[in-house]
Chains A and B, each alone.
Chain A
Amino acid sequence: MGGFLKILFSLALGFVASVASADSVNIQILDPWVQAAPPNVKVLAAYLEIKNNGEKPQLLVNVSSPAFDQVGIHRSVMHGNMAHMEHLKELTIPPHASVTLKPGGLHFMLMDAKKPLRVGDSVPMTLTFKNGDKVAVAATVRAGQMEGMGDHQHMDHSEHMNHNH
């Protein structure tokens, strides 16, 4: 029982601490998903929304997944009709704002899949922020969402991101 109380106590302490620092609890991950791809594809993309409910900006500095050798924070950029990818060292989530990773813009580039992934599979990922906070995420593999694409909105995101940098 002593051990249990100890855990309970430290949990409570941890809760109080995080409320006090107002950091980790303020990061909210919404709708994490991985774009379904042909089984022979080694490189996939993950998308999600990162919401910062806190008072301070949060810096995402690392992403990892046991299902892939490496994960990078990438952004697809269009120069005219030319598509290319940029590697970002970190991603800033401004206070009381959210950053959305979605097709055609920001994404986590999942490199060297350890095994083929199918629709419905869950991909565990860990997001590490500069303050040391780690957020565990389970992203579901699904065929890309097409809503909002009828009005060309999916490209607006990169412009929006530029304001945040």
Chain B
Amino acid sequence: MKKRSLLLTRGSLAVLLVIALSVTAFIGWKLSNDQVVKAPAEIEDYLFWEAKELTDFKLTAADNRTLGPNELKGKWSFIFFGYTHCPDVCPLTLMVLGQAFKILEKNPAVFPEVQGIFVSVDPKRDTPESLKEYVSYFNGRFIGVTGSTAELDDFSRQMSAMYTIHPKEAGQSDDTYLVTHNSTVFLVDPQGRLHGRFPPPQTPKEIAEVFMKIRMFYNERSNKRWGVF
């Protein structure tokens, strides 16, 4: 404590103030001069070069509900592809995403804006009803969906999240085949556009913190478009 009080003399405070002011002035000058708003470096890698509109897909959730482009609008959707007969990577990722939601839950302004969507690419073994039970175990804000092979192919193609269902291995029962799937957590923005992605391996803190920055940048940019800046 003694050291600190020695450091904080009037002179050093003045120097700090000058530095802070010039940094602020520089940032302001940069912002007003930059024609194109560049994403901050720490979120650049998580963003798609251009947000991509998702069109005309249809997936099925429990209780006869469907998930289409309209259900994505007005929310930030975290989308993950997998299957429930996946004992390692899928529960791990859903747990990480569930914990990220726990962090976001502490921010009451943000949490109502987020939803988690688990897309099962294994409709032969996963039904919308079984998926509802499955995802609610990880977080109450998760929705489980699946669809016909054609519907899943269409949606995963739009999301660039390819998957492969492998033939069962010799000597195995019909129900023990494996599925290769993309284990990226995709981020769709409130306009229903594929906006960003969290490649594996993710951590709860990383997802929560990067999302907050992406959201802030998105909101700032929307404001700028309306002439607030």
Contacts and interface: CB of A to CB of B under 8 A. Distances in A.
Interface of A: 35, 37-45, 70, 74, 76, 78, 81-85, 87, 103-105, 107, 109-111, 143-144, 146, 149-150, 152, 154-155
B87 A144 contact: no
B180 interface: yes
Interface in B167-187: 169, 176, 178-184
B134 A76 contact: no
A27 B81 CA distance: 38
B92 A103 contact: yes
A154 B201 contact: yes
Nearest to A152: B201
Interface string B74-105: 00000000001111110110011001000000
A160 B205 CA distance: 25
A81 B92 contact: no
Contacts of A144: 91-92, 95
A85 B88 contact: yes
Given A38-B133, A104-B88, A149-B96, A83 B169 contact: no
A35 B84 CA distance: 13
A41 B180 CA distance: 19
Contacts of A143: 95
Given A109-B87, A146-B96, 6 more contacts: A81-B183, A81-B184, A110-B87, A149-B96, A149-B204, A155-B200
Contacts of B179: 84
B26 interface: no
B24 interface: no
B203 interface: yes
A103 B88 contact: yes
B91 A84 contact: no
Contacts of A83: 86, 89, 180-183, 200
Nearest to B160: A81
B140 interface: no
Contacts of A107: 87-88
Given A45-B88, A83-B183, A85-B88, A104 B99 contact: no
In the A-B complex, the 6 residue pairs with the smallest Cβ-Cβ separation, listed nearest first, are A45-B87, A38-B137, A84-B180, A83-B183, A83-B89, A103-B92
A104 B95 CA distance: 12
B130 interface: yes
B136 to A, nearest CB: 8
Contacts of B138: 38
A40 B134 contact: yes
Interface in B131-184: 133-134, 136-138, 162, 164, 169, 176, 178-184
A107 to B, nearest CB: 5
B112 interface: no
Given A37-B91, A43-B87, A87-B169, A146 B183 contact: no
A41 B96 CA distance: 18
B13 to A, nearest CB: 36
Contact of A74 (B84, B88, B130): B88
Contacts of A45: 87-88, 91
Contacts of B85: 42-43
16 contacts: A38-B137, A40-B84, A41-B84, A41-B87, A43-B85, A78-B200, A82-B183, A84-B164, A85-B178, A104-B88, A109-B87, A110-B87, A111-B176, A149-B201, A149-B204, A155-B200
Given A43-B87, A83-B183, A85-B88, A38 B176 contact: no
